[in-house]
Structure 1
């Protein structure tokens, strides 16, 4: 074992034994070379290897620090209820120490920018990192096309209010769809059309008929891990939708809010098939990190950049520079990649447990028909005349929070289903089975002749 490998093993052992703590600064290269009687290049090699293996991370003009190795779930207070309605990441899985160190460094490196405006697109170093991340999911764009917004909801607000080159007003959404967009459209009195989305895909006849009408400004769609269905569009369906958008000059707003939870590298977004610049791609960091971060990214066609920039300046000014700077540090130092891998492992266990329990309960068609895929959420289709409100109340009395699907549909929508959304992203693995067993028991108590 050469000197560099000896140093690597020594530092790894000190981290494992708790001699070196998370967030602790390592000695400088000069000090380490003197202490260990070796060249600076040997120390640099050891530090770089440790950084590649996520034992430590580098901070610009500051040095090397110990990365958080364990995710201390006991640090977060035990919750007194099980929440199946929330899509937020599990707080006990988040590496607080790592992100805190990035926040601290961000206040030092970007302290001048904290007291000024003037970055309408976003923090340039973050845009660079985001562009590279997007390329990993086949979204190739210039940095001039990227805009950081205060969450995806703000991007949707801007897109809803701004004029589009096709001069149209009506917005088309799936049914069911993202409930806050539905509320936004209602509050702004925007003309809206709904098209049915099922576990099998879209109602293609209606999609083309509405596109052909010449009234659709844009179609908001969630191709991957649909909210609330949990299903994804096939490759052929994505290509078909992009082709129709090009043919009828309809823009597509692609909400890829769970792209970071995708395992299949071949599952490309709509944006990858767009050759006519009709797809607007939206990415969220809230669903993988934490909702309070409020950072989303919009990838815009060239024709929309100027107008979007103008409306963003009026509605959003600059998104939080501190949040952007901390996220930049978090991505740049490899922490995001390491945390994503850890989160996926945790979610995979929860998804597997969810599927096992659904299989155990599959004697009941309600559970047998629940979609099983790699999404961290699914839904239960209840009979049309099932007393869902009573079920929700009874579960609440047992400290189980669920929500019905009514908020995901437009008022008076012909596609409304009586569904119960099941999201386990925020539920500890060991609580999934007993919670679903209680739900199944309460459903049996309230069941009447099925009418699906």
Structure 2
């Protein structure tokens, strides 16, 4: 082992064991040179390696300091089967690849980081986003694309901004995305719901609501709906668009799981929108990670100016570092390669989930779509909350459906099942335990 490597590992060990904690100053180069009986250039070589790995930083005319003494997190081994968590498996993400993009982004866009961002997002990211959207069969001009701080910001802005129709009431599927339901409960925005099941929605009811109520837009997840895991067929999408045109209602299409749809012939509602009534939203929270806080919004021409004004007052622009790093991640081909790997991994989990439901819960109404999240409909005699508490004692975690509904809307007895964070070998065992509990309800609840 070379001398500088011995010094490097010695200092690294002190940092990782906490002898040198975050903010601590390292001994001077002269002191280290005496301690290790070597030249100053050897010490500098060891220090540069620690600096390049972000363990220390240099302060001109002062010395070297520790950035952080904590070790990187490692995945915990656990016998818990977590069907409740919907975030992706963090340890599966190629952090080293994305770290390259972050470091390169900081070098490339140094000046931009010290200015407020552009109104619609980093122009180079908008160009890459346009190419990415085309792979989802979303063809649009760059001027119609906005970079937002996640899909939540898009939903917030669309909910508060005026539309050309001057209508105010929002229509949402029930159940639906829980954070958007929380938004309605918090801000008391006018909203009504329409029931969605594994069989879809009642189109006659949809037309009645469109024709008789003051509907500004209809928020829907046509593909792999959250929390049901179901998708609309082409005819349903065509009918929904036709009704939207007939009654001048906009559609907000949340396509957050576009990367995981196995049906290559399933296009978004946006694809066949000839009258600019569909607003398309895309998130990176599932395919990458929620902390990125980047979303895409594709807007009809009539909404661009209003959306822009409201976005400027909300946050001026999304994180420039995140935008620049994502642009490089897309442009370099890293995203495409990772997309393929993670899609295959989640598809495997989704297949195991669907096969397990079919095998152990054949008598329960459920989604038949291959998706990382699904559901079963429970009979009336089952107390859902007690079932969830009973299974928790067996280290099987499930989430209630309460937050996926608006206040006052009838709640189906739905048991949500999400395998985003469940290892392959645990899925069947977890479904088997659920089936056992449901087959002996008198013993538990």
- Supply the distance in 2 between the matched residues of 1:80 and 1:305 (Cα, whole angstroms): 49
Could you list the per-position Cα deviations for residues 275-330 of structure 1 after superposition, in whole angstroms to 9, with x for gaps in the alignment? 11111000000111011111111000011111101111111221011111111111
- Supply the distance in 1 between the matched residues of 2:321 and 2:112 (Cα, whole angstroms): 9
**Superposed displacement of residue 162, structure 1:** 0.6
1:372 and 2:364 equivalent? no
- Supply the distance in 1 between the matched residues of 2:114 and 2:381 (Cα, whole angstroms): 57
Could you list the per-position Cα deviations for residues 33-69 of structure 1 after superposition, in whole angstroms to 9, with x for gaps in the alignment? xxxxxxxxxxxxxxxxxxxxxxxxxxxxxxxxxxxxx
1:422 and 2:417 equivalent? yes
Conservation of the 8 A alpha-carbon contact between 2:354 and 2:370: no
2:286 is matched with which residue?
287
2:388 is matched with which residue?
392
Could you list the per-position Cα deviations for residues 108-146 of structure 1 after superposition, in whole angstroms to 9, with x for gaps in the alignment? 111211121131211111111110111122211111111
2:429 is matched with which residue?
434
- Supply the distance in 2 between the matched residues of 1:75 and 1:125 (Cα, whole angstroms): 34
Q: Which runs of 5+ in 1 are unaligned?
A: 1-73
Computed over aligned residues only, the root mean square deviation of the Cα atoms, in angstroms, reads 1.9
1:354 is matched with which residue?
353
SS at match of 1:217: strand
- Supply the distance in 2 between the matched residues of 1:135 and 1:435 (Cα, whole angstroms): 38
Mapping 1:43-82, distance limit 5 Å: 75-79=74-78, 81-82=80-81
Q: Alpha carbons of 1:320 and 1:80: their partners in 2 closer, same or farther (altered >3 Å)? A: farther
1:309 is matched with which residue?
308
- TM-score, with length taken from structure 1: 0.79
1:33 is matched with which residue?
none
Conservation of the 8 A alpha-carbon contact between 1:214 and 1:248: no
Q: Alpha carbons of 1:265 and 1:235: their partners in 2 closer, same or farther (altered >3 Å)? A: same
**Superposed displacement of residue 202, structure 1:** 1.2
**Superposed displacement of residue 181, structure 1:** 1.1
- Supply the distance in 2 between the matched residues of 1:222 and 1:333 (Cα, whole angstroms): 30
Larger Rg: 2
Conservation of the 8 A alpha-carbon contact between 1:404 and 1:418: no
**Which of 390, 396, 402 is matched with 2:398 structurally?**
402
**Superposed displacement of residue 156, structure 1:** 0.3
**Superposed displacement of residue 394, structure 1:** 2.1
Mapping 1:136-147, distance limit 5 Å: 136-147=135-146
1:322 and 2:321 equivalent? yes
- Supply the distance in 2 between the matched residues of 1:429 and 1:285 (Cα, whole angstroms): 23
Could you list the per-position Cα deviations for residues 203-238 of structure 1 after superposition, in whole angstroms to 9, with x for gaps in the alignment? 111111111125100000110001111110010111
**Superposed displacement of residue 372, structure 1:** 2.4
- Superposed structure 1 runs of 4+ greater than 3 Å apart: none
